[in-house]
Each structure stands twice: as C-alpha cells, then as structure tokens.
Structure 1
Amino acid sequence: MSIDTTYGFTYKGRHCSELGVRLLRYTVNSPNLREYEDEPAGTPGVIDYGTELGKREIEITVDIVPDSRMFKRRQSEILSWLKPTTAAGMLVFDDVPDRFFTAKLSGNLTPEQIGKYGELRFAMKCTDPYSRSATLSDNVILDSTIVLDTEIRLDDTWSYRIDGTQTVEVNNWGYEDVTPTITITGSCANLSISAGDKTFVYSGTLNNETLIVDGERMTVKKGGSSTLQYSDVEFITLEPGINYVTIQGTTLNCDVSFSFRAKYL
C-alpha cells in the first residue's frame, strides 16, 4: 500500500512514511514562559523583572498503515526512531518545509490499537523555542528550500566585496532578531561593523587571512585561534527586514559575508 507523503514529517533525516506512518494532526504550542517577578508586601500587583522563553511542546498524532507485521513490532520500531535518550534532532513538517524545530520525544508514546491498525499520540519537546530556516543565508539560491511568500528579494545577497567604507543591505527574512556569523576574508585593519545601535570593533589586522566572528557563540577567531582580545565583544544583531550595515576600516580589501538562519516563533 502506498503512503501519502503530502502531509507528514521528517525527523532526524527520516520521513515518517518510511515507517508506514501517516501524520493525522499536530499542534505547535506556544513556548513556556519564565517570568521573573516579585510581590512586595503592602503594594498592589508585582514588580516585573522580565520574561524569557522556555521550551515548547509539539503534540503529534499519527496512524500506522497495516502490513504483515504485528502492531507492537511497529510501535517498537517507531519508538527506536524517536528514541528520547538520544540528543534532540531536526523536526520538519511537510506543510512548512522551509523551517525546522530542534526537538526530542517527551513523555509517553500512547497507542490506541485495533488489530494491526492503530494510532499513536506523543509530544516532542523543543529545546530551542524558535523554529529556524532550513537554509542558511549564505546558501540561498534559486532552488533553495524556501516558500514563495518568504520575504526574500531576487537581488538579495549576504556576501559583499569591500574595498572602502560601505553600507550594505542585509535582509533578515525571519520574524525575530538574529545574531549572524560574520566571515571576513582578505586584508584590513581597525575594522568596525555597525548595525542599528551596535558596533563590532576589531583592532587587529588581517593580511590575506580569514576572521570569523560568531555572535551566537561570542567567539572571534583568526585562522582557528581566538583573537577575542582584539575585539570590543559587542556583536551586532539583525532585526527582521532590511538592515543597513556599515563596514569601515583601513586598508580594506576583503570579502564580508553574513551567515544566519531566520528565526520564527
């Protein structure tokens, strides 16, 4: 019996149809909130110290297409695929192929069996509350996994040739701020990269070398060695939409690229 793959999901590189599983429905819940507050005695209300996003849960219901194997064997195979004792993996739903969740099985795998047919209900815990684009910005090409309504312009690029002070347009097509990895290849000195109210400054020099500024991991490396001491440790962020990024320095003769995955709640 053929399996309908138009409505399913892929987990850790394996599509559910490979196990004879069909996705019936799924619900992506909002992230849990970590709220920091204090309740002062004698004063109405609370003092709010801010809110952070916690994990989020995705509820999934599937059914199993009957074949010659017993239902319990099928259930064991699926549980091994979703094995919760292993690290979280990429979870991609067919109807949103351009983004993924980082998730792992959470709680019980609940079966409802009728002979060799059955349904399974389970929850996936997203260790990262955001879903992220399947394609990195510096890998966007015409046949990338990107849906038609994505806010990417035909002439968008995330890599630039810099031979003097220049302001470039960097498109963050997601809905949330991102902290890019910036790769500078070539020669320059006293480099600064500004976006919004943040400016990254690198006081060292490059002489036909490569500098990698990883804002998420807060590392600065030249030739694989840390040169964080030459930076001001103020990593830029890119807001949703078009960001105007100014690159300045002396003896500028380099290529600068911005690599990130768009983020969504």
Structure 2
Amino acid sequence: MGVKLDGRDPREFGLIFLKDHFHPHTPEMRSKTLTIPGRPGAWDFGSEWDVRTFNLPFAIIEYNKLEMQRKIRAFVAFLLDSYGRPRVVKLTFDYDLDKYYSVKLASQISPERFFFAEQFEVPLVAYDPYAKSAVSSDKIIMESDTPLMSDILWDTGLSERRIIAPTTFSIVNNGTVALPFSYVVEGSGTNVKLSANGKTYTLGTFSNKIYEINGDMYTVKVNGVTDLTTTSGDFIELFPGSNVISVSGSNLNLTISESLTYKYI
C-alpha cells in the first residue's frame, strides 16, 4: 500500500508510508439551515460538500541524524513553492490509481523523534473535494498504458466530430457527479446552438472561427481571445452516464471536440 505525490514515491525521500492512514470516503459536509426561536428543529436549505482532508502517516529510519534532517527537509521543500508556501500537488493512492486529488499542506507537521527514527503525519487538504480522473476522456483508448480501475464505458464518443447538418450525438460522463461541459467548436455556421439536459447555448452566426467554451470557469474564447459578447444561453452540464447533445443551425461546417476530466465523490 502506498501513495504518490505529483507522481513521486515518498521512498525517493527515504520515507516509509504507514498503512494506517486517513482517507475519508466523502468530503466534509456543509449544511445550510435556519433556526427559528419557538419552532422545533430547523429549516433545511440543503447541504453542500466542503473540503476533503487527509492525514498521511510516514516514518523514516536513518542512523545519521544529519542525513535524516536533510531528507525530511527535502520532502518538506517538495511540498512548497519557490517562496516557501504550500503548493498544490496531485495525491494518488495505489488502490485508486486512475484518480487523483489536488491537495496542499494544511497545517504544521509535528514529528515524534526517536533515537534512529522519526514518525509524523502530513495533513493535506483538497479544497476541490472531488477525485478526478487521471486520464482525460479523449485519452481513454484500449491501447492506453494508464491503469483504469473505474467502471468505464468505452463508448465515450468521438473526440472530434464533423458536423455538416443538424444532428445529435452522445457523450458519456463516466464520473459520479455532474460535469460542466467544456468543448471546442471550430468552423462556420448560421444560428448555431448546442442543447443538452434542458439547457441551450447559442454561438450565433460565424465564419472560420474557433470557440473554446470552458464550463468549469464559465468563460468563452473566440480565436484565443476571451469574449462573452457574441454567445448567449446556459452553460451545459453532463450528468453521470450518457448525455445526448443536439446541434442545430444551418450552413454547418463544424468540428466539435472535448477533453473531459471526470469527477468522483
């Protein structure tokens, strides 16, 4: 059993990962309630996921105290940026190799020192509480050398679709939570619209342009320049499983592609 941080094994720093570690099945929960004096209970306005925390236990055995300190300092420096501040690293568990968490050091590392050994826990926090797929959707192919441990539907759809008439196509969200749809539209068309799951996004009429729609950041780039004035509508979401995307318009000569990073609880 082990972990990797930014693809590096802690053993590179002389550390031993201890098997008894804290890896919560869910993030922390943030409940939105309102308590009214004189009324039993509370109004429930729903709940949201909060941050996800980890405590990773390590030990180091080194008979040379100076060398021990050097190894530990090198490991701590690895978790920091050039200014000595905690930086975001990818945390991967060997029993969940096809997913990662974006984490950073959450608080002080306090060691227990012994004669020739030291033991300590590394507290990490993922402010984005979801696990993410290590492989983007356009890289999920039979020949991939990346281990895939999730239930993946291989029919994820073509990574590049040529659209010359109004049509529909399917996109599979292999994650367990809804995913903002980020995609690229390149070409020409009149009154072009994309619709799915009750939402429609309008690109309008254009010729020989490239639209980069980023559903995560709610941004649109037109020929590489941020521009929200030429498009309108609701950003599309992809629910877990198969999603049907409708493309409408006339004089269509488009290529539509996407590279999705699935998210998991």
Q: Which moved more, 1:228-237 or 1:123-132?
A: 228-237
Structure 1 CA distance, aligned partners of 2:145 and 2:162? Answer: 23
- Where does structure 2 lack aligned partners over 5 or more consecutive residues? none
How far does residue 10 in structure 1 lie from its aligned partner after superposition?
Answer: 2.2
Structure 1 CA distance, aligned partners of 2:11 and 2:31? Answer: 40
Residue 249 of structure 1 aligns to which amino acid in structure 2? G
Query: Residue 63 of structure 1: SS of its match in structure 2?
Result: strand
Structure 2 CA distance, aligned partners of 1:134 and 1:109? Answer: 28
Percent pairwise identity: 26
The reply on whether 1:11 has 2:5 as its aligned counterpart is yes
Query: Residue 12 of structure 2: SS of its match in structure 1?
Result: helix
TM-score for both structures, normalised by structure 2 = 0.88
How far does residue 97 in structure 1 lie from its aligned partner after superposition?
Answer: 1.6
Structure 2 CA distance, aligned partners of 1:144 and 1:253? Answer: 35
Asked if the contact 2:32/2:46 (under 8 Å) is kept, the reply is yes
Structure 1 CA distance, aligned partners of 2:87 and 2:178? Answer: 26
The reply on whether 1:80 has 2:77 as its aligned counterpart is yes
The reply on whether 1:190 has 2:191 as its aligned counterpart is yes
User: Where does residue 255 of structure 2 map in the other structure?
Assistant: 255
The reply on whether 1:27 has 2:22 as its aligned counterpart is yes
User: Where does residue 113 of structure 1 map in the other structure?
Assistant: 113
How far does residue 237 in structure 1 lie from its aligned partner after superposition?
Answer: 0.5
User: Where does residue 42 of structure 1 map in the other structure?
Assistant: 38
Count of matched residue positions in the alignment of Structure 1 and Structure 2: 258
Asked if the contact 1:71/1:113 (under 8 Å) is kept, the reply is no
Change (3 A) 1:136 1:67: farther
How far does residue 22 in structure 1 lie from its aligned partner after superposition?
Answer: 2.5
User: Where does residue 204 of structure 1 map in the other structure?
Assistant: 205
Structure 1 CA distance, aligned partners of 2:128 and 2:161? Answer: 31
Asked if the contact 1:70/1:116 (under 8 Å) is kept, the reply is no
TM-score for both structures, normalised by structure 1 = 0.88
Change (3 A) 1:149 1:53: closer
C-alpha distance after superposition, 1:82-120 (max 9, x if no partner):
237233222222221211111111122132333332322
- Where does structure 1 lack aligned partners over 5 or more consecutive residues? 1-6
Change (3 A) 1:144 1:194: farther
Structure 2 CA distance, aligned partners of 1:32 and 1:187? Answer: 46
User: Where does residue 54 of structure 1 map in the other structure?
Assistant: 50
Q: Which moved more, 1:142-151 or 1:32-41?
A: 142-151
Asked if the contact 1:88/1:127 (under 8 Å) is kept, the reply is no
Asked if the contact 1:66/1:117 (under 8 Å) is kept, the reply is yes
How far does residue 75 in structure 1 lie from its aligned partner after superposition?
Answer: 2.4
Structure 1 CA distance, aligned partners of 2:222 and 2:156? Answer: 30
Structure 1 CA distance, aligned partners of 2:156 and 2:40? Answer: 54
How far does residue 52 in structure 1 lie from its aligned partner after superposition?
Answer: 2.0
Change (3 A) 1:152 1:47: same
C-alpha distance after superposition, 1:120-170 (max 9, x if no partner):
212101111111111122233331524144322257433322111111110
Change (3 A) 1:242 1:127: same
Asked if the contact 1:138/1:159 (under 8 Å) is kept, the reply is no
C-alpha distance after superposition, 1:13-38 (max 9, x if no partner):
43212112222133222322222221
Change (3 A) 1:196 1:155: closer
Change (3 A) 1:78 1:13: same
Structure 1 CA distance, aligned partners of 2:185 and 2:73? Answer: 49
Residue 29 of structure 2 aligns to which amino acid in structure 1? L
Residue 60 of structure 1 aligns to which amino acid in structure 2? L
Asked if the contact 2:79/2:89 (under 8 Å) is kept, the reply is no
